[in-house]
Each structure stands twice: as C-alpha cells, then as structure tokens.
Structure 1
Amino acid sequence: MKRKIELLAPGGDIDAIKAAIVAGADAIYCGLDRFNARNRAENITFADLPGIVRLAHTNNCALFLTLNIVIVESEIPALITLLNRLVNTRIDGLIVQDLGLLYILTHYYPTLQIHASTQLTTHNEGQIHFLSKLNVRRVNLSRELSIQEIHSLTETAHQNSLLTEVFVHGSYCLSFSGICYLSSFNSGNSGNRGRCSQPCRDQYVKTVAGKDYPLNLKDNSAFSDVQALADAGVDSVKIEGRIKKFHYVYTVVKAWRKQLQSLYGQEELCHDDEDLHRVFNRGFSNAFLKGDIDRDMFVDHPRDYSAVYLAETKDGATDENMEEAKRELYDLKTEIITDVRGRIEHLSSEKIPLQISVSGQAGTVLHVVVQTPERSFTVVSDSGLVELKRTKDGGQSLDCDMLAKRLAQLNETEFTIESLETDGLCRGLFLPFKEVSAIRKKIFRELHASQEYVSPIDVPRIKRQGDQMLEPVLSLLLSAEEDLHLCQGSSADTYFQIPDNLENCDSALTSIFVANRGLLPWFPAVLIGESYHAAVEFLQKVKPQRVVTNNSGIAYECWQRGVPWIAGPYLNVANSFSLLCLMGNFNCSGSFISNELKRVQIKAIKKPDDFKLYYSIYHPIVLMTSRQCLFHQVTGCTKDRIDENCLHCCEKSAEITNLKKQTFLIEKTKGNYHTLYGSTHYLNTDVLREIPNFFSSFLVDLRRIQTETRVALDRAELVKLFESYLAGHPGSAEALEKSIQPSTKHQYVKGI
C-alpha cells in the first residue's frame, strides 16, 4: 500500500506526548489548560507548547491543539488573546467545535488550519459541505458510523478537499458526541465544556434485566479493521486517551504502528490484540464500525477489564487466577513504565536558547547578531540610528531594557532569549519602536524558515443594538397528527418534528405538510445515510416557508435552496460570533440559544441586525441520543442486536434510577433513535422578565413525551395560558407554575 494513514495519538501531558513520539505516532493532539474538552487531563500550558511543537517536528510528528468546547461570550477576549499567540507558533492544526470560533478563525486567522471536532457530530454529506464552506480541512467523523458510511463520507470529503479522521481505539460514548447533556443536567459539568463527569459509567439501581451499569459500553477497538479503513480511504486513525498515562499511550500506539506497518508492507495483519488488553480497557467492541450494533457492546462494570481477560486465558476468572493476573499485570506495568521512561528521558521539550548581540552607533544601522546552538545570522535595521537628543519629540533610549521588552515575543516561539548583549551599542541612541518591531519580525522569519510574523489581530467586538421593543410570539412543537388542531385559532408558529429516520414515512409526512401549508418542519440533530437523503428530498417536495434544523447538513441544503431556516437548540449556539457564522455564511434568519446557558451567559450575547433569537421555555429535557439500543440492559429486549425494523417500528419506554435517586426516562418512538430524558420537563417563566426585549419567539414543546411532569390543563388550555404569559397578563406565570408540576430550570440557574 503506497498511501499512508496518519496514526493520531493522545497527549494528555508532556510524558504522554513523548511516549507517543517514541511509539511511532504520526501526529499528536493535546490541549492547553483552557478551552479544551478534556479538563480532567493534566494538559499543558502555553509556555510548554512551543517546545513541544519543536520536539514533535524534530521527530517528524505533527501536533494538533484542541480548542474543542462551546465558547461563552465572556471568554471571547481571552480566546482572541490566545489565538494571537497561537498564530505565531508552528502548531499544525486546531481542533474546533464552536461555530463562533470557526467564524473567527475563517475571517481573521487564515494561516491556522482547522479540524472539525467529533463534538460537531458529523455524519452526513451536507455537514461535510457545511464544514468545507467554513474552511475546515479535516473532519473527525461520528463514532457511530459503519465502514460503508465512512467510505461514502470520505469520498464526499475528498471531493471537497477535506480529510477524514476516524476514532479507532479507546472509550466509546453512548451518546452522539456534542448532543449529550447528561453530565450538564446531572451535575452542571457540561460535556460541551470538557467537564463530562461520565454519569453513563455510574452505577444505577439494578434494572429489570439485572444490570447495575446499564449505560456502560465497552471500549472501541478497530485493530482488526485496518484494511477496511484503508479501503474506505480514511486519512487518519485516532486513538482516544488524553486522560490516560504515558505507559498506556505507548502500548496502544506501538501496537497500532506495528499493524499499520504490516499493512504498508502487504504483510499478514495481526489479529492478536493481546498487547491492547494489557493496559486499561473495558473489553473491546467494533460493532459500530461493523454496522452490527449488538447487546455485546455493553459491559456491566466500568472497571479495568485487563485482569479478567488475562485470568480467562488461564482457564477461567477464578479468585486464584484473578490474583495471579493482577500480580502479573502489575509487574508488566512496572516493566513498561521503566522501559518507556528510558526511551523518553533523552527527549527534551525545552526551547532553543538564543544569544543576541546588538551593536551600532549614530549614523549607522542597528546590527543584531543572533546565535543558536546550530547557527548564527545577522539582521539590520532599515534606517540609521540617531542621537536621542536630536529627535524632534524625544523618545525612549535604545538600551538593553527597551530591547528586551521589544524582543520578548520571541520567547513565545520555540526559542528563548538566553542572553542579550548590548556592549557594542553606544548610549543615548534612538530608533523608532516600529523599526525595533521590524527587527523582531526579521529575526522571527530567519528562525522559522521564512514564516512571516503575524501581528496581533484586533478582532472587532460585536456591538449591542439599541433597545428594541419586542413582542415575542409563541411557537409550538408537535409530533402527533392528532395535535394539529392546537394551532387552529392560535397565532403561534407551529413546528412539526421530522423523525430521525424518514425513509419509511416520507409520503405520509409529506401529506401532512401539504394539507397544512402553514406547518413548519423541525429537523432532528442526527440524519445518517438514507435518512439524510430522504430529508433533502422531503425539503424539495414540501418547499416549506421556513424550517428549524438541529442538523448542519440540512442547514447547508436550506441555504443552497433559498429556504429560510432557523438554527435549532442542539446546534449549541452560545455566543455572538456563532450567530455571525450562521447568518454570514449560510443566510440563517434566526437561532435558538442553547438551553445549557444561564441568564448572565445568555444576556451577554449580541445579535446581528435583522436576525431573530429563539428560546425554548417548556420542553422535555433531552439528555442523550444514542444509535445503540438502551433497552438491552434495562428491560432485557428480546433481540440481541438492532435490525432494520428497530429504528422504524420499535416504540417503548422505561426508567432508570441512579444511586442518588435521580430518575431518567428512556424513550424510543417509531422512526427515532433511543433518547434519554430528564425525569421532569423544563419550565422557565423567569426568562421573559429577566431578559426582556431579547427573544423574538419562545417555544413550547408539546410532543407526547411522558415524564413525571403533570399538567392540570388540557393541551389547548395550556397553549392559551402560554399566550397569556407572553402577552404579559398578570398572574399567568404563576398559573403556569401551578399547572405544570413538577418542573425544573436547573440549567438556566447553573449554566455552563
């Protein structure tokens, strides 16, 4: 095989980065101590970064930086400060989730290469086109995809000059990444902010199926599927594990490097994954990749499985064999740690020292001699030095302190000024600051092989519009045809839920919209394969006046077809630049603001002119959406695996309760994926009063999701009461609170 596949390794700390290098990684992804989706990893500081970049590049390894969280408005200044520093490093790419950050990078930092994070949930062709429009150069595809789906998306990506990256080893998430809110709801630690507390790994009250850990999946391992991945055209295979220690990283990367080398040499591929079992794992599955999603993907404990695996090779996991296996693994771990420490101890991530010598006298140019351990060079000023007393307006004397301050930005590169010698510089001389800055840029260019220094970019702040009196309207979301009468006699906009799987109900659904021309489609977050194509065809047939979409692929299609569209709440919009991204690039007319935000975070957002903001004030709280069957471990579904009828026909519900007595609802409806909901509905009657003249419309979700929330009114009366609330009628908010019980607005209070 001539084409090489990049082996992408995790780097949670400096030792793990070094271990990945010596194990044979082609690239490493790591995070700083802010703005990355693994806050529990040790991470690195910006001061560490340039030296790590140099170390990686010296060993023919690329280094990517994760900035893959949702950004709130108050963080934008700090984010821009960071980007102004990163743009002058030799980082090979930024891994990004937030749409506002995508906008900023596209418009102001074109030299920084953008990779789309797995948190963007990319799983259909339209999303590839959407990301291409935002200058993304690589996309990490959703973890739930089969090899056939990966092949199809990779072809589309390559046609649009994008590379594809596929997750091949490490912890599976049960939910589609980016649209999991379980940790956020449960503890205020949002997965979209890098703070996931992994409540899916928690112990729950024993289920009917006899399981204590009903949401816990085995780890992913595509070790035996490397040929299929190569045939699918995948450009990079990613190992998960930024929270893992260096011995784990070394072991897994080394095994994968050996497997890829066998592929390149057309040798027999290894099907023995014993080395992978020697370090932390929960057991392995490749069911998503195989497109054979089965019960065996689950394991009823979140602990390390390596001792169990080893004991089972010794005639069974008896107590005696388990003890022997644990001792063996401990000794092996000690041996690996010692071995890897010996391999990485010579690797230095220290910066390269610079000795700088400055000389000059009045009437001559300034000479700056720069010496590294390997070479020396000289740069000179463009104009001559003058005596300070002869300058018209005075100025600062050119001395060691002034030069140290003006050249200090060189210390943010892979180099550091070890000494600055000015003995050859006459006293009382003057050179304009801009000339000294030009000297610094010349030195930078020499040190970085002609790379130009980028001066700090002043990204324009978005100005808040003047106060506008808004009279927000009510919007309804329905999912049952029998509820369509609720929009009769009401001025509310009415949205109708489009199912995750559209192929089998397209004609019936089309008939509903044709018969109700004012009805507006509400597209889900996940539309894979034929479901996406059916959704596009549905758009063409129905030609709706407007849509809400939670899927960026449908957003792209609406933009292409001139269909007005609104960004749904599961696109995780949390800052003003995200609004500019959607409006400026895709002619979006409005956006829901994420329900993860608290009042102060919402209030800080500034919308563009001629753009509308939306907010859901009443809804069942979606915590996760999964392609796996959530009933396997809960009620004991009779099927061992998901077949083609499950998505189309299955309709059931169940509950699970954790050891803190929190209950969650599992619901599967026809045509939709399995969904986990909070036990009660969200109700927020404070937002209209606390953030007035901000939202153009408030959504009331009347889909028939049965939580513990009970409503003391019929649905038509409830709609009228919400209309009274928006009209500002006295007592209507209190009446809603009294009529809808129990409910919560925890996310609005806690935020992210």
Structure 2
Amino acid sequence: MSRKVELLAPGGDVNAIKAAIVAGANAVYCGLDVFNARNRASNLSFDELNGVIRLAHEYGCEIFLTVNVVILEQELPSLINLFNQLVNTHVDGIIVQDLGVFNLVKKYFPSLHIHASTQLTTHNEGQIVFLGKIGATRANLSRELNLTEIKLLSDLAHEHDVLTEVFVHGALCIAFSGQCYSSSVSVGNSGNRGRCSQACRDEYEPTAMGNKHPLNLKDNSAYFDLPELVAAGVDSMKIEGRIKGANYVHTVVDSWRQQIDKFVQTGELLQDDSNLYKVFNRNFTNLFLKGDMTKSMFTDNARDHSFTHANEKSNAISVVQIQEAQDQLSQEKNEIDALVKQKIKHLDISKHKLRFEISGQLDEPLTINVFITSTNSLGEISRDEQIEVQSKLTLKSAGDAVTDQGAIEKRFKSFNNANFVIEKFDFTKLGKNLSIPFKELTALRKQVGFLLNDSKEVIAPVDVPKLINHPKPNGKTTMSILIADEADSYLCDVTDGDVYFKLPESFKAGNNKYIDILKNNPRLIPWFPAVLIGKDYIEAVRVLEEVKPKRIVSNNTGVAYKAFELGINWIAGPFLNTTNSYALLTMQEELNCQGAFISNEINKRQIQNIKRPANFKMLYSIYHPILMMTSRQCFFQQTVGCKKPSIEAGCMLSCKKETTVTNVKGISFAIDKQKGGYPSIYNHEQFLNLDIVNDLSHMFDEFFIDLTDIGSGSKEVLDKAELIKHFSRLISGEQEASNHLNNMVEIKTNAQYTQGL
C-alpha cells in the first residue's frame, strides 16, 4: 500500500505533545487557552504553541490548532488578533466549528488551512460539498457512522479536494457532537464552548434495567479495523484524549503507530492490543463503525477499566490473586511513566537565542550578522546557525544625525517574540559617528525577518473592516409556529404568521407521505432536522425536489446546500448554533441564505451586538422543549429495556417509546422517541423567554413558538390555539398576555437567556 495514512494524536499539554511526537504521531492537535473545546485540558500559551510547532517539525510531525468553539460577537477582535499572529507561525491547520470562522479565514487569512471539527456533525454528502465550498480542507466525520457511510463520504470528499479523518480510539459521546446541550441546560457550561460537564457519565437513580450509568458508552477502539478504514478512504486516524496525560498519549499512539506500520509494510495486523488496556479506558467497542449498535456498547462503570481488565486477564478471583494483578499493573504503569519521562526529557521547546553582531565603517555597507542557537533540556546545542544581511546604501559621516546603538536596537527589538529571545547586541565592529537612513534599517529588519521565518514573507496584520448593522427588511416583528402533525394544520387558520412543518430524521424509502402533506397544505413550510444520514438524507433531498417549496428552514447544512443548488430560499435553523455576524455572512454569501435563528444558548448582551447582513432575516425561538441531547444509540436498552438485541432499520420509523431518567439530585429528564426520530433527552422544563420580546424586538423579524408534541412538562396538553392567541398579543405589545402565558406554562425556564455562554 502506498497511500499515506496519517496518525493524528491529541495534545492537551506540552508533555503530552512531546509524548505523541516521540511515539510516532504524524500530526498532533492541541489548543490554546482561548477558543478551545477542551478547557479542562492544560492547553498551551502562544509561546508554547510556537515551541511545539518547532519541535514537531524537526520530527516531521504537523501541528493542528483547535479553534473549535462557537464564537461570540464581542470575541471577534481577539479572534482576529489571534489569526494575525497565527499566519506568521508555521501551524499546519486550524480545527474549526463556528461557520463564521470560515468567512473570516477565507477572506482575510487564506494561508490558514481549515479542518472542520467533529462539532459540525458531518454525516451526509451535502455537508461535505458545503464544507468544501466554504473553505474546509478536511472534515472530521461523525463518530456514529459505519464503514459503508464513511467510504461514501470519503470518496465524495476526495472529489472535492477535502480529506477525511475518523476518530479511531478514545472516549465516545453518546450524543451527536455539536448537538448536545445537556451541560449548557443543566449547569450553564456549554459543550459548544468546551465546558462539557459530561452528564452522560453521571450517576442516575437505578433504572428498570438496574443501571446507574444508563448513558455511559464504552470507549471507541478501531485497532483491528484499520484495513477497512484504509479501504474506506480515510486519510487520518484520529485519537481522542486531550484531557489525558503524556503516559496515555504515548501508549496509545505507540500502539497505533506499530499497527499502522505493520499493516503498511505487510498487509497484516498485530493481534496484541494489551497495551491499550494498561492506560485509562472504559473497556472498548467498535460497534458504531460496524453498524451494529447493541447494548454491549454501554458500560455501567464510568471509571477507569484498566485494573478491572488486569483482574479479568489474570482470572484473579481470590483476594491474593486480585492484589497480585493490581500490583503487576501498577508496576507496568510506573514503567510506562519512567519510559515516557526518559524519552521526552531531551526535547525542548525553548525559544531560539539570537545574538546580533552589527558591523561597518565609513563608505561601507552596514552588515548585520545574526547568530541563532538553541539548546535542549540537557544543555546540548541543538541548533547553531548564522544569517547575514547587508545594506544597499553605505554608511556616511553622521554630522548631527548619528545612527546610534539605541536606534538600531529599537528597530530590531521586535525579534523578542514567540520564537526568539535576543541575548545580545554587539556593536564593537561598528564605526563611530556614522549614519544610515532609517528606511534602510527597516529594510534590513525585513530581510532578517524573512530569513528567520524560513525564507517566507512575514504577513502584515490585516485590519478587518467593521461590519454594518442593516435594518430589518420589513421593519416589523411577526410570530411563526412549528407543528409536526398534519392534524395540527388547522392552526394555519389561527395565525397569520409562518407555519413550519417539522420533518422526521428518518423516512421510509420511496414513501410520499411527507411530500403529500406539504403539497396538500401549501401554507406549511418544511423544517428539516439537524441529522440526516444515508437514505434519510436522500429522501430529504427528494422532498425538496418533489415539493419545490418557496422556502425552507434547515438545521442541516447538507440540506441547505441542496436547497441552494435548487434555487430554494432557506433559513438557518436554531441547531446550526449561530452566535455571531460572520456566521450569518458565511451562510448568506456562500449559500444565499435568507435568514437565521440565533442560538438560544446566548444571552441578551451576547445577542444585541450581532450585526445583521443586508436583506437578511433574524429569528429567535421564545418557546420550545429544551433538547439536551440526541443519539444514534438507543436510550431504552439501559432504561426500560428492549427485546431487540440491537438497533434495527425499522427502529427509527416505528419506535415511539418514552421514559425518564432521574439524576442523583432528584431531577428527572424525559427520554422521548418519536416515530421517525432519533432517541432524544429533554429537560424537565420548557424554554419560555418572554423577556426578549421586550428587550430585543427591534432586532428580530420573527419570534418562534414550537407547538410539536415533543418533550416534557405539561406542554402537550395545552390548548395550542390559545397559546397562539396569547403569544400574538404579547408580540403586538400587549403586556398582560405574559401573565396568561406564565400561568399556562407552569414548568419553564429562560436560564440560558440569562446566563449565556
């Protein structure tokens, strides 16, 4: 086999990055202490980032920087400042979630290569084409996909010059990445901002099946699936684990390095994966990859399985046997620790030291010699180089305009930066009372910068123009509603506003049910869900092609791209996590988007600074069930039980179970499975935000209410027509309507609007 297979390793801190490098990673992804979806990792300073880039490149390893959170409007100046710095590093790529970053980078920082984060939930063909169009050079595919789905997307990605990467080892989220709001809802720490509190690992009251951790999946390991992944066209094998330490990273990367090398050289696999069990793990599964989602993917122990595995491997039963097995593993862990410390101790990321020697006499050029040295942590010189530049003009007698040492040092002190530290300026070979134009000194500084930058031009900072906030296209605010049952179509007669019709996440192939509903009810505007995989994406596209609606709402960029191709106007739904002006611009400029829902995760202050593009609608949901997470796995296997051994093709279309899980604080969450939908968990409260109607009506064209019979609380028994009447009165300015709504919706919250991100 000749195609390169990249091994991509996590790096939560400097030692973990060093461990990944010496273990044989082809690339490492890591984050700074800002704009980073793993804020529980140690992360890097900017100086450390430059140091690990230098170190990695010495070993032929690339560095990808995570900028994989949604960006708030007030953070844009800091983000732009970061990009102005990054373009003059040698970082090999940035990993991005926020759609606004694509717009910024494509326009102003095109030298940065963008990788689409797993937080973008990439799982269908339209999304791949969309990502290629907006500037992604690679896409991380959803962890829930099977090998057949991965191959289809990889083949298409390569046609559009997009590489694919797949997580092959480490922790599994039970929820679709980017579509999990459990931490945001429950404790105010959003996974879309890198602050996930891991509610899926929490302990709950024992379920009917006796499980205390009913949402806890085993770790992912595709160690023996490498040939199938290569055959599927995957370009990068990605290991999860930026919160884990150097010992874990080294062990896992080393094991995978040996496996890949063995396969590349011989076409065969190593059969021993025992080292993977010696570091943190929750036991392993590869069943997402196999498309065989059984309850064996779950484990009721969220803690480290390594010691349990040692007991099982040794068949330890008695107290003595168990102690011996534990002691043996502890010794092996200590040996791993000693090995890693020994292997990385000589690796150093200190800045290069510069010594400037400035020389020249009357009528001679001014010569600047720069001596560059580096030492490793053992004090050994690892780099010893010299560069020389000369002025085009000669030194002249100064008169009153002496070019003194201070003037020269001032011009070159900027090389005290993230890569270099100036140790000394030596002027002993420079004549007295001489001068040279400051313009010539500036040219010399530029030459030195070019040579110190590996003979690449230093990119000047970009001054990104400020965006203009355009007025509302119609100048008024209306109300829109969402229904999911044709029986509720009578509500079209109760409201003058837009009526959206929620389409399922799964369709029966070739069935025209939803096509007929939309054709028979022309007031209904199709509302497409966030996740549409395989045949369900194909069927969703068929709805577009057959119905040819004038407008849709899409929470999926793949469907949005297809609408753009078909010339259908589209609105970006709330699950696209839109939090800033540049995200609006990306969708408008690249896909002719007509408007967008602003994320319900952000607060008044974070919303009010968003700049509306010209002729663009802004929408906001003021009433809806609060989705906490959606999964491709089954929540019922571990809760109320299910007789089916694994999830079948018909489960999505036919299952409509519901139950609850209750955490140790006594708060219950509704598990809801609609026909044609993925299993989802909802908060016990409804989202009801009446404050924003008073606060920010001037910003929004539509306030939206969700009248689907989904979720929890008392919503499904409320009179929908009555709700519409009171919401209409509220939006029209009748303040007493809020009292009626607060009385009708008893279990409610607007905490996200209060706390924000």
Q: TM-score range by the shorter chain?
A: over 0.9
In structure 1, C-alpha distance between the alignment counterparts of 2:472 and 2:554, rounded to whole Å = 29
In structure 2, C-alpha distance between the alignment counterparts of 1:223 and 1:641, rounded to whole Å = 22
In structure 1, C-alpha distance between the alignment counterparts of 2:70 and 2:33, rounded to whole Å = 15
Against the structure 1 CA distance between its residues 498 and 410, is the aligned structure 2 distance closer, same or farther, given a 3 Å change threshold?
Answer: farther
What SS does the corresponding residue of 1:272 show, helix, strand or coil? coil
Displacement of 1:322 in angstroms is 3.6
Alignment of 1:78-97 (within 5 A): 78-97=78-97
Match of 1:514? 519
Displacement of 1:422 in angstroms is 3.5
In structure 2, C-alpha distance between the alignment counterparts of 1:660 and 1:223, rounded to whole Å = 39
What SS does the corresponding residue of 2:698 show, helix, strand or coil? coil
What SS does the corresponding residue of 2:624 show, helix, strand or coil? strand
In structure 2, C-alpha distance between the alignment counterparts of 1:528 and 1:655, rounded to whole Å = 27
Alignment of 1:625-664 (within 5 A): 625-664=630-669
In structure 1, C-alpha distance between the alignment counterparts of 2:331 and 2:346, rounded to whole Å = 24
Match of 1:378? 388
What SS does the corresponding residue of 1:65 show, helix, strand or coil? strand
Match of 2:605? 600
In structure 2, C-alpha distance between the alignment counterparts of 1:158 and 1:299, rounded to whole Å = 37
- For the aligned residue pairs, the C-alpha RMSD in angstroms reads 2.0
Displacement of 1:381 in angstroms is 4.0
CA deviations 1:707-749 (Å, max 9, x no partner) are 1235885111111111111111131122211221110001111
The farther-off stretch of 583-592 and 352-361 is 352-361
In structure 2, C-alpha distance between the alignment counterparts of 1:588 and 1:412, rounded to whole Å = 42
Against the structure 1 CA distance between its residues 466 and 555, is the aligned structure 2 distance closer, same or farther, given a 3 Å change threshold?
Answer: closer
Is the Cα–Cα contact under 8 Å of residues 307 and 326 in structure 1 kept in the other structure?
Answer: yes
The residue type equivalent to 1:350 in the other structure is S
Match of 1:117? 117
In structure 2, C-alpha distance between the alignment counterparts of 1:254 and 1:607, rounded to whole Å = 49
Displacement of 1:383 in angstroms is 5.2
The residue type equivalent to 2:126 in the other structure is G
Match of 2:241? 241
Is the Cα–Cα contact under 8 Å of residues 67 and 96 in structure 1 kept in the other structure?
Answer: yes
In structure 2, C-alpha distance between the alignment counterparts of 1:330 and 1:367, rounded to whole Å = 60
Match of 1:624? 629
Ranges in structure 1 where 5+ consecutive residues have no aligned partner: 392-396
The residue type equivalent to 1:154 in the other structure is S
The residue type equivalent to 2:386 in the other structure is S
The answer to whether 1:306 aligns with 2:316 is no
The residue type equivalent to 1:598 in the other structure is N
Match of 1:64? 64
Is the Cα–Cα contact under 8 Å of residues 94 and 115 in structure 1 kept in the other structure?
Answer: yes
CA deviations 1:347-372 (Å, max 9, x no partner) are 11122222112345677654321122
In structure 2, C-alpha distance between the alignment counterparts of 1:427 and 1:477, rounded to whole Å = 82
In structure 1, C-alpha distance between the alignment counterparts of 2:623 and 2:395, rounded to whole Å = 70
TM-score by length of 2: 0.95
In structure 2, C-alpha distance between the alignment counterparts of 1:129 and 1:390, rounded to whole Å = 65
Select the residue among 554, 557, 563 that pairs with 1:549: 554
CA deviations 1:247-284 (Å, max 9, x no partner) are 11111111101100111112531233111011100000
The answer to whether 1:487 aligns with 2:492 is yes
Match of 1:315? 315
In structure 2, C-alpha distance between the alignment counterparts of 1:362 and 1:459, rounded to whole Å = 45
The residue type equivalent to 1:569 in the other structure is P
Against the structure 1 CA distance between its residues 488 and 415, is the aligned structure 2 distance closer, same or farther, given a 3 Å change threshold?
Answer: same
What SS does the corresponding residue of 1:615 show, helix, strand or coil? strand
In structure 1, C-alpha distance between the alignment counterparts of 2:673 and 2:437, rounded to whole Å = 70
The residue type equivalent to 2:519 in the other structure is V
In structure 2, C-alpha distance between the alignment counterparts of 1:365 and 1:95, rounded to whole Å = 46
The answer to whether 1:744 aligns with 2:741 is no
In structure 1, C-alpha distance between the alignment counterparts of 2:486 and 2:544, rounded to whole Å = 19
In structure 2, C-alpha distance between the alignment counterparts of 1:141 and 1:437, rounded to whole Å = 47
The farther-off stretch of 307-316 and 423-432 is 423-432
Against the structure 1 CA distance between its residues 536 and 324, is the aligned structure 2 distance closer, same or farther, given a 3 Å change threshold?
Answer: same
Displacement of 1:329 in angstroms is 1.7
Match of 2:426? 421
What SS does the corresponding residue of 1:308 show, helix, strand or coil? helix
Match of 2:379? none
Alignment of 1:381-530 (within 5 A): 381=391, 398-412=403-417, 414-425=419-430, 435-465=440-470, 470-504=475-509, 506-530=511-535
The farther-off stretch of 224-233 and 326-335 is 326-335
Is the Cα–Cα contact under 8 Å of residues 123 and 142 in structure 2 kept in the other structure?
Answer: yes
In structure 2, C-alpha distance between the alignment counterparts of 1:688 and 1:141, rounded to whole Å = 38
Is the Cα–Cα contact under 8 Å of residues 103 and 578 in structure 1 kept in the other structure?
Answer: yes
In structure 1, C-alpha distance between the alignment counterparts of 2:168 and 2:404, rounded to whole Å = 56
Is the Cα–Cα contact under 8 Å of residues 282 and 303 in structure 1 kept in the other structure?
Answer: yes
Match of 1:394? none
Displacement of 1:418 in angstroms is 2.4
Against the structure 1 CA distance between its residues 352 and 482, is the aligned structure 2 distance closer, same or farther, given a 3 Å change threshold?
Answer: same
CA deviations 1:79-109 (Å, max 9, x no partner) are 1111111110111110111111111111111
The residue type equivalent to 2:654 in the other structure is C
CA deviations 1:417-437 (Å, max 9, x no partner) are 222233445677766666544
Displacement of 1:465 in angstroms is 3.9
In structure 2, C-alpha distance between the alignment counterparts of 1:146 and 1:14, rounded to whole Å = 34
The farther-off stretch of 371-380 and 97-106 is 371-380
Give the total of aligned pairs.
747
The residue type equivalent to 1:208 in the other structure is A
In structure 1, C-alpha distance between the alignment counterparts of 2:394 and 2:614, rounded to whole Å = 50
Displacement of 1:318 in angstroms is 5.4
Match of 2:380? none
Is the Cα–Cα contact under 8 Å of residues 223 and 271 in structure 1 kept in the other structure?
Answer: no
Ranges in structure 2 where 5+ consecutive residues have no aligned partner: 374-383
Match of 2:376? none
Match of 1:588? 593
Alignment of 1:90-105 (within 5 A): 90-105=90-105
Against the structure 1 CA distance between its residues 385 and 705, is the aligned structure 2 distance closer, same or farther, given a 3 Å change threshold?
Answer: farther
Against the structure 1 CA distance between its residues 617 and 505, is the aligned structure 2 distance closer, same or farther, given a 3 Å change threshold?
Answer: farther
Is the Cα–Cα contact under 8 Å of residues 307 and 322 in structure 1 kept in the other structure?
Answer: no
